[in-house]
Structure 1
């Protein structure tokens, strides 16, 4: 079960037990008081252990409400299937973009088979699904798929908020292929009159009808154009925050700032099995480097275009 949902269920049980304890005393009902006290201690221990359990593999709870849902009885099968398919496509495209780099405008999504989530549970109330990464949850560090799901969840949490600055942060994380699916997803939710609650790790947020409608309007009004290019210049990396600053040797170009992904991280760490040695980021600024940088131009209705830069590869020192 999702950690957040498990803790919420345990907390609800604890509240009930504490109410029962408050309604009696040890003198009046020694047997009942002892049983409820033992149950209280057991629940508190379970909550503590659940809170300490690391979350290293991908888990996601999606709860739908509104038009497609009939209370806790069920959900429209056509809507549920297509909405889950959209969510899986978002995860697969984001995962491929992180691991492989820029996706083509069309065609198969590379490594889509390694980014598949399993439906491991059905949650009632508003009708929902629990999605999890396949495999055993025994990793010490976060899996790449968990990091991808966290990024998609973060985008979903920002795209429908009223604050334009928060939405701009989400838009900066999108690529052209992911945007196509995001448009389709929010159009489906809006036309079906659906709402959506998302639970991921410690996050729990609701996209109500206003948020869904706003997200649809924003994504429909957005276009993203991507291009890649090689540059030579002075490069500064901040490995902990995965950010870079690049000063091209061509003085006519402005300094480029942005983020870098797993490909560059692997280059920094080295891959001995491929004959690649680690690269010390402190040594990189000492001489010019040839690098590959992806530029995304984001265009929105009634707003000036803006550019987002991603360092995709360290080619070689010059």
Structure 2
């Protein structure tokens, strides 16, 4: 059972306990109240039975809980804040999904944004929040990429609040600048409104108290991502065809760089590279992604795009 489904079950069980307690306090004279509460108890018990019997649907879902200044207990949330928070969370998901599909450009409209849409299907308690789910007419049409994007969004957001700086840097190695910019807006919204946050998606359940929100907002503000293509002179040390990985020694300083190889190359082509071109002078065209924190490069990621061997007749 997913954490979101478990939350729904736990809330229903809590309601059953509350209604049962009220029934125990009624006297014989409270006929109408007893009738109403017994009816409600029956509905809750039936709903709980359905939850226990029904398998988890394969679609995407997430629960967002908010606390702090914009929230009045379990009664309500400021409309402007609540609407903005859900919209920015949805925007992050759309960009993560497009980025993972290799279709997120540096600017412009997010491709296929409609396919990443979640719907608010319920209000959830435990402070105040919303249940967001993927809705399709037929369950077999549910979109696995969206589920993965929601879970990746949850993982990425949790990294911003992670107390350990090294774990944070490792977690954001693959982040895109447009995703980062929207995450910055999301955490700025939390911080400026004095809000706290809990995100439940997939197998993750992450809470952001005031300190974690401040830490996440600062990291999002001080982190930037640069991406570009570079040509590097050196020698190929070798490739791992099945893993699509390479190692290349730079001529300038002898440092070995490692990374992924473009998917356009087949395993057979990479085996040929190992046979014919290892330790031969070459020019590697690579895509470089650099993650900076307060201006300092903290992570570099290389993808081999082309390899032009020198001195081959």
What is the TM-score of this pair, normalised by structure 2? Answer: 0.71
Matches within 5 A, 1:298-309: 298-301=291-294, 303-309=296-302
- 1:288 alignment partner in structure 2: 273
Flag the 1:206–1:310 CA change in 2: closer, same or farther, 3 A: farther
* Unmatched segments (≥5 aa) in structure 1: 20-41, 269-278
**Cα RMSD (Å) of the superposition?**
4.0
SS of 1:287's equivalent in the other structure is helix
| Alpha-carbon shift at residue 120 of structure 1 (Å) | 1.4
Q: Give the paired residue count.
A: 272
Flag the 1:137–1:156 CA change in 2: closer, same or farther, 3 A: farther
Matches within 5 A, 1:64-143: 64-101=66-103, 103-104=105-106, 106-136=107-137, 138-139=139-140, 143=144
SS of 1:134's equivalent in the other structure is coil
- 1:245 alignment partner in structure 2: 245
Matches within 5 A, 1:52-67: 53-67=55-69
Flag the 1:137–1:284 CA change in 2: closer, same or farther, 3 A: farther
CA distance in 1, matches of 2:303, 2:53: 39
SS of 2:6's equivalent in the other structure is helix
CA distance in 2, matches of 1:122, 1:112: 24
| Alpha-carbon shift at residue 87 of structure 1 (Å) | 0.7
| Alpha-carbon shift at residue 194 of structure 1 (Å) | 0.4
- 2:259 alignment partner in structure 1: 257
SS of 1:288's equivalent in the other structure is helix
* Unmatched segments (≥5 aa) in structure 2: 22-45, 275-282, 308-313
| Alpha-carbon shift at residue 302 of structure 1 (Å) | 7.2
SS of 1:255's equivalent in the other structure is strand
Flag the 1:247–1:169 CA change in 2: closer, same or farther, 3 A: closer
Flag the 1:291–1:84 CA change in 2: closer, same or farther, 3 A: farther
Runs of 4+ in structure 1 off by over 3 angstroms are 9-16, 42-50, 136-142, 228-235, 248-253, 289-294, 302-305
| Alpha-carbon shift at residue 229 of structure 1 (Å) | 5.5
- 1:236 alignment partner in structure 2: 240
CA distance in 2, matches of 1:140, 1:54: 15
Query: Which of 286, 290, 293 is matched with 1:297 structurally?
Result: 290
The structure that has the greater radius of gyration is: 2
What is the TM-score of this pair, normalised by structure 1? Answer: 0.70
Q: In 2, are the aligned partners of 1:56 and 1:137 still within 8 Å (CA)? A: no
Flag the 1:57–1:307 CA change in 2: closer, same or farther, 3 A: same
